[in-house]
Amino acid sequence: MSDSTSLTFISPGQPERADASRFPWLNLILLLATMVSTMLVGTFLAANGLFGNIMPPIMAGFLFAATLLLVLGAHELGHYFVAQLHGVDASLPYFIPAPLGLGTLGAFIRMKAPVPNRRALFDVGLAGPLAGLAVALPLFAAGLILSPVRFQQSFYGNGLLVEGLIWLTEFVRGTPPGHHLILHPISFAAYVGLFITAINLLPAGQMDGGHVAYALFGRRAYWLSIISVIVLLVLGWSTGWFSWYIWALLVMLLGLRHPPTLNDAIPIRGIRWLLGIIALLTMIILFASDPFPIFR
C-alpha cells in the first residue's frame, strides 16, 4: 500500500509577485478532488471491514476523508502562516489526489521567495509538523474512545506513541484477553497523519526535518540526509515494505543538499535548539518501521 506525503517544498527561487485579486481556483479544485478520492478510499476500506463494520461504509469514508484532510490542511497552514509572519511569500496548500493507496499523496505549499535566514527556515519547517500534531493527537485519542473491540489480532504499526495510546485505551476499557481495538475511521486517519508527521520529521533534504536540520547544522546537515536514506533502504530490506524504497527515492530526487538561505550567517540559539531536540524525539516516538502490516 502506498503512503501519502505532506512534503512542503521550499525553494530559494526568484520572488514572484503575488496577485491578491486572483481566486485560488487550482487550490480549490485539487482540494475537492482530494476530498472525493479520500472518501472513496475510506468507503472501500470500510466496506472491506477495516473499521469493524460499526457504521455504513459511506459514513466511515466521509469521517476518514474529513479527518485526514483536516490533519494535512493544519500541517500545511502551519507552514503558510509562519511563512507570512517571516515575510516570506507562500502559496496556499495544494492537495494531491490519488486514485490508489490512501486517496492522496498529501499536500504542499510553494515558497515564492527565498527564505531570509536559518531562524526563519527553522520556524517555517517546524510549524507544519507542530500544527499537524495539534490536530492529529486529539482526533486519534477521540477516535480510540469510539473504536470497537473485536476478538482478533491487532494489526497496526509499531510506533511507540501509537502503541502506547492503544494499549492504555484497552487497559482502561478493560479489554478481554485476545481482544483488541479496531481503529475507528477518525483514529485510523489520524494515525496516518501521525505517521506522515514522523516521516516529514526525518532530517533529510527537503523534508520538514531537513529544513530544521539545515537551520541547526547548516551544510553539515547533508550527512544527516545520507544517513536518513540509508535507514530507509535498510527498513525496506528488513521489513519487506516496498514503500520505504519509494520514500528513499523521493528524498534523493528532491535533493540531499538543502539550498542555503539568503543569510546563513545568522545562528540558531536558545529555545530553537530545545525545540529541535523535541522534534527529533517526536519523530522517534511516532516512527513505525512497519506501519501498515494489515495491507501486506
For residue 42, give the nearest of 34, 135, 110 by alpha carbon. 34
Compute, in degrees rounded to 10, the torsion defined by CA atoms 223, 228, 234, 239. Answer: 170
Specify the pairing of strand 104-108 against strand 180-181.
unpaired
Least confident of 113-127, 153-167, 185-199, 207-221: 153-167
Q: What value does the mean pLDDT of the chain take?
A: 89
Q: C-alpha grid cell for residue 152?
A: 482478533
Alpha-carbon gap, residue 23 to 21, rounded angstroms: 6
DSSP state of 95: E
Stated as kind and residue range, the H or E segment containing 276 is helix 271-286
pLDDT at 53 over 60: yes
pLDDT at 1: 47
Which H or E element spans position 172?
Answer: helix 160-172
pLDDT of residue 150: 83
State pLDDT tens for residues 193-250. 999 999 999 999 999 999 999 999 999 999 999 999 999 999 999 988 888 998 999 9
- Tell which wins on pLDDT, 150 or 104: 104
Classify residue 280 by burial, with Cβ atoms within 10 Å: 0-12, 13-18, 19+: middle
- Is the CB of residue 139 less than 8 Å from the CB of residue 70? yes
pLDDT, one tens digit per residue, over 185-208 is 999 999 999 999 999 999 999 999
Asked whether residue 268 carries a pLDDT value surpassing 70, the answer given is: yes
What residue ranges do the domains of the chain occupy?
A: 25-295
Res. 168: pLDDT tops 70: yes
Question: Span 82-100, mean pLDDT?
Answer: 91
Residues 255, 12 contacting (CB under 8 angstroms): no
Q: Identify the band that residue 151 occupies on the pLDDT scale cut at 50, 70 and 90.
A: confident
Q: Is the pLDDT at 19 greater than 70, yes or no?
A: no
How much is the pLDDT for 5? Answer: 43
Banded pLDDT at 155 (limits 50, 70, 90) = low
E strands within the chain?
A: 94-97, 104-108, 149-150, 180-181
Residue among 207, 217, 209, 219 at smallest CA distance from 255: 207
Share of the chain above pLDDT 70, in %: 90
Task: Report the pLDDT averaged over residues 154-169.
Answer: 85
Q: What is the pTM of this model?
A: 0.89
